[in-house]
Chain A
Amino acid sequence: MSLVFPYLAQHYPRPLVTLRGATVRYRPIFAITVFGPSGDYPIDVLADTGADDILFPEWLAARIGLDLTNAPTGGGSVANLGTIPVRYAEVRLRLWNPHEQREWQAWVAFTSAPLRQGYFGQAGGLEYFEACFRHWRRELELTVAPTYPGT
């Protein structure tokens, strides 16, 4: 069993040189549900093998009832934002489709920087799955790996 996520499209008003004149880009973006003490929210994340951690905007932490006041802190780097402050918290994450559901605990990063999307990176995320990026079919397949700690 596995979780398959079709890529999401972004349309452009002009032909893109690197795509040989196409006007649509497809990205491995999918919804993940983040659980906290007071609630849960689905949010789109980009599956990014170049991202070390899972990263969300800090306003999401407030919405799910996480108090980051005394959370471990660190620094991160996002291409369009440079160096950004991050705070870490342990949350429950859920991936879902009508045929399979996966849920696990993970330490994730939150930042107050103006993120343009969430990131599903290595630690706590991709490390638990065998990820097959089928760009030709515009879909990402995630299969749980032996390291997967959840249900």
Chain B
Amino acid sequence: MTDKSDFRGPDPFVYAANRNKFTYEQLQPYFGKWVAWSLDGTRILAAAEDGKDLHDLLVAAGLDPHQTVYSYVHDPSIDCEL
């Protein structure tokens, strides 16, 4: 478990600023999938149809699953979420 003293979460401003730069085309391969973002929001480190698979994908790639943010990439073929 991450100790309070060494915790490094995503800086909300850095995370959002970088994520918001991703274009429709860049995100297209991930529509409808769960992904693991880098803490700074600059990279998608793993993607899976089911979020439960992300952990194993990250570990297999030699990455620390705790140093990511799990998120869903919405499919923009749906105009609005209600």
Q: Which of A8-16, A67-75, A126-134 contacts B (4 or more CB under 8 A)?
A: A8-16
A-B contacts at CB below 8 angstroms, number: 106
Given A40-B2, A59-B51, A62-B52, are A13 and B9 neighbors across the interface (CB < 8 Å)? Answer: no
The reply to whether the CB of B60 lies closer than 8 angstroms to some CB of chain A is no
* Bound-complex Cα distance A68 to B24 (A): 38
Number of interface residues of A (CB under 8 A): 46
A58 to chain B, nearest CB (A): 8
Return chain A residues, CB-CB under 8 Å to B27.
11
Please list the 4 inter-chain residue pairs (A to B) with the smallest Cβ-Cβ separation, ordered nearest first.
A59-B52, A6-B16, A96-B9, A44-B71
A residues with CB within 8 A of B: 3-13, 16-18, 23, 25, 27, 29-31, 33, 35, 38-44, 57, 59-60, 62-63, 79-80, 94, 96-98, 101, 103, 114-117
